[in-house]
């Protein structure tokens, strides 16, 4: 299978490197408007793959024709969030980039499954879904896998085991909903493992996970995002039917409609094969509703843009 990664920045290049190092697919195409950067990174990776004995080939390009016949296209193109910049600040810049990318995917890889990573994630996934006209199973936003990893990390600092499951739904933003009722240590729900104060701290650290990295690096994270993208890609390629939290187009599930937001979905060779409805507590249901509502202003901006550009 050929996989294309749009955007050869920190997230795109790290994703590309994991895809080749793990030999997940036969060919990776790395596309960026800045061809030199893509080329430089790809040469470095190809030299690494010789040492690793990896067989996946890499092609760098700025020509969308090269993504032809890709089975999966990962969109990481965009402007990353800087300290003090909200994800919503990025909206106006990134929607134009998304339009250009999605129209080219539609043209050159019309049968692909699209994984959206660019922020603001749920809004960009909504835009990609609308711009592409693809079925809702084929446009997947990668946010919840990363947020859940951040929650698992916060838990791992407090227990002496790796038997941890964490689940975060809702928007990939400060309005995310870390689920205490669906996160476990040794199969025990978090609220039975920790006291209320510690549970609150875990939620706070999860929500702050991305911003903390931005504060240190002056740019957003890339290793964990790349690992989360690879998890999603492997679930599709190996048809694992894994339950993964992803931004998905909803039609009534979790009492939400006409939005894309993080929910647990079953991922297999067809992309999102099912939205999985887990029982939430009253408090979690309320937080999820607030999370959905937090999208409305940005969605109105996207809708207006799409209307003005005749989509």
Dihedral pair phi/psi, residue 28, rounded to 5°: -120, 130
d(CA 140, CA 193): 33
- Rounded to 10°, the helix 35-52/10-21 angle is 20
Which residues are registered as beta bridge partners of 263?
A: 246
Q: Evaluate the omega torsion of the peptide bond into residue 77 and state whether it is cis, within 30 degrees of 0.
A: no
Residues in the chain: 311
Q: Which is nearer to ligand APR, 44 or 277 (CB)?
A: 44
Residue nearest to ligand APR (CB): 9
Q: Which is nearer to ligand APR, 100 or 290 (CB)?
A: 100
Q: Which is nearer to ligand APR, 60 or 183 (CB)?
A: 60
The correct pick among 3, 5, 11, 248 for binding ligand APR (CB under 6 A) is 11
- H or E element in which residue 176 lies: strand 176-178
Q: Which of 62, 92, 172, 175 is catalytic?
A: 172
Q: Exposure pattern of 285-310 as b/e (b: 16+ CB <10 Å)?
A: eebbeebbebbeebbebbeebbeeee
- Nearest alpha carbon to residue 264 among 150, 173, 183, 161: 183
- Nearest alpha carbon to residue 48 among 79, 11, 13: 13
What binding mask, one character per residue, do residues 117-136 give for ligand APR by CB under 6 A, x or -?
xxx-----------------
The correct pick among 3, 4, 9, 95 for binding ligand APR (CB under 6 A) is 9
Q: Which is nearer to ligand APR, 81 or 193 (CB)?
A: 81
Minimum CB–partner distance for residue 240 and ligand APR (Å): 24
What binding mask, one character per residue, do residues 185-224 give for ligand APR by CB under 6 A, x or -?
----------------------------------xx-x--
CA 102 to chain centre: 16
d(CA 285, CA 144): 17
Q: Which residue has the tokens 């947020």?
A: 147
32 contacts ligand APR (rule: CB under 6 A): yes
Count CA atoms within 13 Å of residue 228 on its CB side: 24
Q: Which two tokens stand for residue 45?
A: 């990776």
54 contacts ligand APR (rule: CB under 6 A): no
Which part of the chain contacts ligand APR (CB under 6 A), choosing from 22-30, 47-55, 96-104, 161-169?
Answer: 96-104
76 contacts ligand APR (rule: CB under 6 A): yes
80 contacts ligand APR (rule: CB under 6 A): yes
6 contacts ligand APR (rule: CB under 6 A): yes
Q: Which is nearer to ligand APR, 173 or 182 (CB)?
A: 173
147 contacts ligand APR (rule: CB under 6 A): no
**Is 172 designated active site?**
yes
Q: Which is nearer to ligand APR, 91 or 256 (CB)?
A: 91
63 burial level (CB within 10 Å; 0-12, 13-18, 19+)? exposed
46 contacts ligand APR (rule: CB under 6 A): no
37 contacts ligand APR (rule: CB under 6 A): yes
12 contacts ligand APR (rule: CB under 6 A): yes
Site for ligand APR, residues 223 to 262, rule: CB under 6 A: 225
Dihedral pair phi/psi, residue 247, rounded to 5°: -75, 125
Q: Which residues bind ligand APR (CB under 6 A)?
A: 6-12, 32-34, 37, 76-78, 80-81, 97, 100-101, 117-119, 219-220, 222, 225
Residues belonging to the active site: 172
């Amino acid at each position: 299978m050929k996989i294309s990664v749009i955007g050869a920045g920190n997230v795109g290049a790290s994703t590309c490197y994991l895809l080749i190092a793990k030999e997940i697919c036969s060919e990776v195409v790395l596309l960026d408007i800045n061809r030199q950067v893509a080329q430089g990174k790809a040469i470095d990776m190809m030299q690494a793959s010789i040492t690793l004995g990896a067989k996946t080939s890499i092609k760098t390009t700025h020509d969308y024709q090269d993504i032809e016949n890709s089975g999966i296209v990962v969109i990481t193109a965009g402007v990353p969030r800087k300290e003090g910049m909200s994800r919503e600040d990025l909206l106006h810049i990134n929607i134009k980039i998304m339009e250009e990318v999605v129209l080219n995917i539609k043209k050159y890889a019309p049968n692909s499954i699209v994984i959206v990573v660019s922020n603001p994630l749920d809004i960009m996934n909504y835009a990609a879904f609308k711009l592409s006209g693809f079925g809702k199973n084929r446009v997947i936003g990668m946010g919840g896998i990363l947020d859940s990893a951040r929650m698992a990390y916060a838990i791992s600092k407090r227990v002496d085991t790796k038997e941890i499951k964490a689940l975060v739904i809702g928007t990939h933003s400060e309005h995310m909903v870390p689920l205490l009722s669906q996160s476990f240590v040794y199969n025990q729900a978090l609220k039975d493992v920790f006291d209320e104060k510690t549970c609150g701290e875990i939620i706070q650290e999860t929500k702050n996970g991305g911003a903390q990295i931005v504060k240190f690096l002056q740019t957003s994270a890339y290793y964990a995002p790349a690992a989360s993208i690879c998890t999603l890609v492997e679930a599709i390629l190996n048809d694992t039917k894994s339950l993964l939290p992803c931004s998905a187009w909803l039609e009534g599930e979790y009492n939400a409609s006409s939005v894309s937001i993080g929910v647990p979905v079953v991922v297999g060779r067809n992309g999102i094969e099912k939205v999985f409805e887990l029982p939430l507590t009253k408090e979690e249901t309320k937080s999820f509703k607030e999370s959905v509502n937090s999208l409305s202003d940005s969605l109105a901006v996207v809708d207006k843009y799409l209307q003005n550009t005749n989509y």
